[in-house]
Structure 1
Amino acid sequence: MALAKKVSNTLTSTINVVLTAKDVAVDGFCMRCGSHGTNKAAGRGSARGTYVWVGNSETQCPGQCAWPFHQPIYGPQTPPLVAPNGDVGVDGMIINLATLLANTVTNPFNNGYFQGPASAPLEAVSACTGIFGSGSYPGYPGRVLVDKVTGASYNAHGVNGRKYLLPAMWDPQTSACKSIV
């Protein structure tokens, strides 16, 4: 996270993203799997930039940071889902990156959209942890789509036929988490 904070951001409308490789051990990684925050732009007075840091969860805390593609470290021990891109660490990073990008956009300077106290906010996606499809409950990600060829679970289509599993997001109009499927 210290590396992400060091990035000089001269444009306040950008988000700097730092991704760490699976062989990079990050102190406190298992507490958060990634984070977002702000930094002052060098020489820009009160201008601030935003950053996102996401670690690769293949070797550090996969049961927490790459769930539902890895056996959970606690809770119901349902079988893990098949990662849509064939890499548990990277597919876990995609979930964490999507979460943190949404949280950064809706709460960039810790004074935007969140629920609860500012010292421990539940942000747009962190309020919906573990929800990927309808009917989800703790230990069960919900009903998602399954690729008939690979058996991989997903709920979103990307460029060039890529498939992803993206987390649900809080919908303030319905006061509920809303997933893609």
Structure 2
Amino acid sequence: MNASSIVLTSAYVTIKGFCMNRCGTHGSSSAGHIKGKNYKFAYIWGGMCAWPFHQPIYGPQSPSLVAPNNGVGLDGMVINLASVLAGTATYPFGNGYYQGPTEAPLEPASACHGVYGKGTYPGYAGNLLVDPTRGASYNANGANGRRYLFPALYDPTTSSCSTLV
């Protein structure tokens, strides 16, 4: 059983507290015993959150970023999934790679929260590429002209957040 399950929450589904303090999570569970072996599986739960494409309620009030594919919820979900996928790959069963104390581990994307480009500081996502026609911010090019904004990941070899741009 080398698999991860991914559950995506629609914008039409309201879950108490979800998108208030987190937009996604991951964990693991037991799949039970099969032929005398105990199998585990990792899971990811992601929702449609608007940050960083929406003005925050508190904190620095710099202008919001423009969603690269013109879909605030889905573009936010891409960031979300990239973050929890990195955590699932490096810390799938609570015993993998993390930074900090075991009581409060930071995973690769959590350690770089809000960092998308070089020169980041609180309230500023960093130096990003900008679509000249729409003003949308992005740091990765995809197929068929799609653009994406991916979070930085902590790089243990440099002890810093590694960004795509």
TM bucket normalised to smaller: over 0.9
Give the superposition deviation at 1:24: 0.7
Q: 2:11 aligns to what? A: 22
Question: In the alignment, which residue of structure 1 is the partner of 2:31?
Answer: 41
Aligned amino acid, residue 51 of structure 1: Y
Cα distance in structure 2, aligned partners of 1:116 and 1:26: 30
Question: Is the 8 Å Cα contact of residues 116 and 152 (structure 2) preserved in structure 1?
Answer: yes
SS of aligned partner of 1:173: coil
| 2:119 matches 1:135 | yes
The equivalent of 1:94 in structure 2 is 78
1:174 and 2:158 correspond: yes
- Once the two structures are TM-superposed, the CA of residue 118 in structure 1 deviates from its matched residue by 2.9
CA distance in 2, matches of 1:49, 1:28: 25
Letter of the aligned partner of 2:14 in structure 1? A
> Which segments of 5 or more consecutive residues in structure 2 lack a partner in the other structure?
none
Distance change >3 Å, CA 42–CA 159, structure 1 → 2: farther
Q: Which amino acid aligns with 1:35?
A: T
Per-residue deviation at 1:160? Answer: 1.6
**Structure 2: distance between partners of 1:94 and 1:122:** 20
Q: Distance in 2 between matches of 1:159 and 1:43?
A: 41
TM-score, scaled relative to structure 1: 0.86
Can you list the C-alpha shifts for 1:24-64, whole angstroms capped at 9, x where unaligned?
1112211221100001114434210001001112xxxxxxx
Residues in 2 aligned to 1:93 and 1:120: alpha-carbon distance in whole angstroms: 24
C-alpha separation between the residues in 1 aligned to 2:47 and 2:68?
19
Alignment check: 8 A CA contact 1:77 1:139 kept? yes
Unaligned stretches of 5+ residues in structure 1: 1-10, 58-65
**How large is the RMSD of aligned CA atoms in angstroms?**
1.2
Identity score, percent: 57
- Contact 1:110/1:118, CA 8 A, preserved across alignment: no
1:83-123 CA-partner distances (Å, limit 9, x unpaired)? 00101111111111100000100111110001123332100
Q: Which has the higher helix share?
A: 1
* Number of the residue aligned with 2:45: 53
What secondary structure is seen at the aligned counterpart in 1 of 2:126? Answer: coil
Q: Distance in 2 between matches of 1:128 and 1:42?
A: 35
1:147-158 correspondence to structure 2 within 5 Å: 147-158=131-142
CA distance, structure 2, for counterparts of residue 103 and residue 159 of structure 1? 25
What one-letter code is carried by the residue in structure 1 that aligns with 2:44? V
